[in-house]
Amino acid sequence: MTIHKAKTSNYDSVTPRWIVNYIQRYAADINATVNPGKADNSAMITRLSGHNKTQLKAIAAELETVQKRLAWILHGQY
């Protein structure tokens, strides 16, 4: 399956406030997906770890990049 990356130009017509709102929504959705709750956490780890390692590595790398970008724009850290 080919996943088409979202383009930054998709957000050209919205204000920075709305972009932040989108970021918060995406982060909340990701968190709810990978952290379903204490009881299901172990099951989710097992379920995800059984999938394609290449895809998991790509997700981890993209999330690490997001974390670094946020640290840079908020705190000047990298």
Position 77 scores a pLDDT of 85
pLDDT tier at 14, thresholds 50, 70, 90: very high
Residue 48: name the closest of 68, 26, 69, 63 by CA.
63
Position 40 scores a pLDDT of 79
- pTM, two decimal places: 0.83
Summarised one tens digit per residue, pLDDT across range 16-71 is 999 999 999 999 999 999 988 777 788 888 889 999 999 999 999 999 999 999 99
Three state DSSP letters for the chain: CCCCCCCHHHHCCCCHHHHHHHHHHHHHHHHHHHCCCHHHHHHHHHHHHCCCHHHHHHHHHHHHHHHHHHHHHHHCCC
Position 7 scores a pLDDT of 96
The answer to whether 22 and 29 have CB atoms below 8 angstroms apart is no
